[in-house]
Structure 1
Amino acid sequence: MPAEGGETVNSARLPVGRQIKHYRRKNGNRSQAAIAGLCGITERYLQQIEAGQKMPSADVLARIAAELGVPIAALLSEDVIEEPQVPLTTAPAVARALMGYGPPHSSVPVSPACLRERVEQAWSTWQSSKERFTEAAGTLPGLIADVEHAVQAHRQVGDSEARREVLRVAADLYGLLRSYCRRAGRLDLSLMVADRAIRAAQDADDPVRIAAAQWNLGHVLLSHNDPGAVEEAKEVALLAAEKLRQAPATAETKAVEGALELVAVVSDARRRHWWEARQRLEERAAPLARQVGEGNVQWTVFGPTNVAMHAMSIEMLAGEASEGLRVADQVDTGQLPSRERRFTFGLELARCYDLRREDAATLVHLLDLEDVAPEDLARSPLARKMILDLQGRVRPTFRRQVTALAERLHLV
């Protein structure tokens, strides 16, 4: 076995280790031991290379590149690597139920009132539980089957109000499924259920739910990296808001309108239109939030706190970490009904510290997020990226904690 010299390096300067790890996982997800053995080096040496602690010789680098099936230039490139994506973790039973192959539905259609109670409980669990993915996986398949059975049954009966209520329940369930599928990495299923929510709301002739379903669709579009899809999210949201304003003005319509404005805000920020995003937030979303106060209409969590959280998000996306932290100091998320929104805020707060290279603060917030919503942390591409970046540059004082966190999330 050849000597394993190699220069000790500052991993922040050289991308080699991270590129090797990326292609090892991408091209077959092979173990470090397997690649090291085939390249004639020890597993420990490859671990040091990937961690940025050693720079391989030209000969070793050539052998690693050949084994990974990529040119040497790819391992030396400083181009941004496709970051770790959210694992595809939709429970198979949920996917089967959505495709019509799930558990058998109840022999007699469940009453609209009972379905309403079950859907609202599922939403409450989804917004408040630390183990929300696990609990949803157990609840949703049967709920999908029963709701869709009730929708089909009420198409053939004469009680129009019962039919409308079942359709409203279906729209609410599909809204929950949109969030579940999106967070579980299944954008295809998320788009499908967002469309079902729109259809159910339209069939129920419910303006608030039609707008809320468009809000759901906007979030699916925001999940894409394609700038065209992100721009389309704004178009969908603003068109829905315009139509909603034609309905009688109520606290509910104003809250959903405000939530739609926030979709447009995020779209602007994602497309680097920072001033446009700030202006829309201040002139459109904030006044609506002041009018309706804190609330959770259609599970949008729209209100002054959510608007303030989006203000911080804009600064984070703009790379204005100091301003983002200043805004964050004025936000109290303790009363928010949604653990997911609290998680997202905490994640963006960690990202602000990460942009400032304040590694200790970044780590503290990531560990706090593991306590707040461990299943969300494991599924967040941004969190996974920050943890991998910390591994490459963190001081020895914190390396053990970062490595332990990465191991718990199965990143190493």
Structure 2
Amino acid sequence: MRRRDFVGLAGATLFQVATGPTLALDDIAAALTRYAGPPAPGPAAPYDVAGLSKDVHRAKAGYQACHYTTVAKRLPHLLSRLDDAASALEGDERLRVHTLRAEAYHVAASVLLKTEERGLAWLAADRSMRAARDSENPTTTGASARVLTRALMRDRHYRAAADFASDAAQRVAEGTEEHTPDSLSVYGALLLSGSVAAAQREDRAQALTLLDEAEDAGRKLGGDHNYQWTAFGLTNVLLHRVNAAVELGDAGSAIDYARRIDLDNIDVTERKAMLFIDASRAYSQWGKLDKAYQALATAEQIAPEELGTRPMVRALLDDLRSRSTGHLHTSVTELAERTATTR
């Protein structure tokens, strides 16, 4: 990251976050436990697949923009409509709807994982994988495997997560005669997911190997793109090098990687916010509490809801507050209070 961007963003005026509605988790739970039956007898109801596609696109884009409250409100109705359409349609339209279901359940699982709703997250991740399988598209299956990998990591099954992601990446490669931008992006993103899991189990060798393989895929892709909603490219590889270094306790290396990243190359708000959260974790490990606070304050500017939904961030704030004094203690406390209003 360019140093002037890092320091400049960290020193800017903070947003004041007003108390807002909580995520509609009960409604999502109801949608996940609603099992669509066979289509009703009589003429099939019309289903606007193009309209469903637009709504799924909106949900994916909203998630990447960290608009979690809005996305959570829309998901229950969208999931029900998609399930009904999959039961009623046939042929290519049905396959297309299964792809959309895989993406929508992926979003649901991702939102639930951020809020530590692990049981529901597992259900949504499994639904995403099953829908992806029904789509008969190896790239879609690989894309859904990413969220199942994260569910495994959240339950601390790091070895299983790393192996699952690596195997899924290999299946994407084997299921594609010649890589397309979509398949290459999913392949590379799976390698990055595996590298995070390996780093979390402190397997430095596997983590670095998977990062290097992902970097090779990023070079082949030739730029930073968002094919299959992966935000994959060489910049994303660097972002994951930051994360892996933090997980491995290499605070200095994490900051060095972060300073190499050009913020202009990060189009996905969630990834940009996570960069500053990881930088804060690294500074905290390093004992540079003021810089850890500045990085979190910058993440708040970028995506207030990202801070509010992550228990990890609240734990980091509690740690910073317990170790700080004076003006810094006051600033951290105020940030923690603002963050609490976005839950």
Query: How far is the alpha carbon of 1:101 from its aligned partner?
Result: 8.7
Cross-structure match for 2:331: 401
Cross-structure match for 2:145: 214
For 2:302, the aligned partner's letter is V
For 2:109, the aligned partner's letter is R
8 A Cα contact 2:185 2:232, kept in partner: yes
Pairwise mapping of residues 43-122 of structure 1 onto structure 2 (< 5 A)?
Answer: 91-100=25-34, 108-122=45-59
Q: Deviations over 1:282-331 (max 9, x none)?
A: 2x110001111211122121110110111111211121111211111101
Cross-structure match for 1:126: 63
User: Partner of 1:409: helix, strand, or coil?
Assistant: helix
Give the structure-2-normalised TM-score. 0.85
Task: Mark the structure with the bigger radius of gyration.
Answer: 1
Query: How far is the alpha carbon of 1:109 from its aligned partner?
Result: 4.4
8 A Cα contact 2:72 2:111, kept in partner: no
Higher relative contact order (CA 8 A, sep 6+): 2
Q: CA RMSD in A?
A: 2.1
- 2:241 matched to 1:311? yes
Cross-structure match for 1:136: 71
Identify which of 257, 274, 289 aligns with 2:218.
289
Query: How far is the alpha carbon of 1:337 from its aligned partner?
Result: 3.1
Determine the C-alpha separation between the residues in 1 that align with 2:35 and 2:321.
Answer: 43
8 A Cα contact 1:308 1:327, kept in partner: yes
8 A Cα contact 2:125 2:147, kept in partner: yes
Determine the C-alpha separation between the residues in 2 that align with 1:333 and 1:221.
Answer: 30
Structure 1 vs Structure 2: percent identity of aligned residues?
28
Determine the C-alpha separation between the residues in 1 that align with 2:319 and 2:124.
Answer: 35
Cross-structure match for 1:340: 270
Cross-structure match for 1:248: 177
Identify which of 307, 320, 328 aligns with 2:258.
328
User: Partner of 2:265: helix, strand, or coil?
Assistant: coil
Cross-structure match for 2:105: 174
Query: How far is the alpha carbon of 1:89 from its aligned partner?
Result: 5.2
Identify which of 288, 291, 296 aligns with 1:366.
296
Query: How far is the alpha carbon of 1:205 from its aligned partner?
Result: 0.7
Give the structure-1-normalised TM-score. 0.71
8 A Cα contact 1:112 1:162, kept in partner: yes
Cross-structure match for 1:5: none
Q: Deviations over 1:328-349 (max 9, x none)?
A: 1101233323221112111010
Determine the C-alpha separation between the residues in 1 that align with 2:101 and 2:46.
Answer: 14
Query: How far is the alpha carbon of 1:137 from its aligned partner?
Result: 2.4
Identify which of 272, 277, 300 aligns with 2:202.
272
Write out the 4+ residue segments of structure 1 that deviate beyond 3 Å after TM superposition: none
Query: How far is the alpha carbon of 1:280 from its aligned partner?
Result: 2.5
Determine the C-alpha separation between the residues in 2 that align with 1:147 and 1:109.
Answer: 12
- 2:163 matched to 1:235? yes
For 1:240, the aligned partner's letter is A
Determine the C-alpha separation between the residues in 2 that align with 1:199 and 1:280.
Answer: 26
8 A Cα contact 1:89 1:185, kept in partner: no
Structure having the larger proportion of residues in helix:
2
8 A Cα contact 2:245 2:254, kept in partner: yes
Structure 2: state its 5+ residue gaps: 1-21, 37-43
Pairwise mapping of residues 194-205 of structure 1 onto structure 2 (< 5 A)?
Answer: 194-205=125-136
8 A Cα contact 2:82 2:97, kept in partner: yes
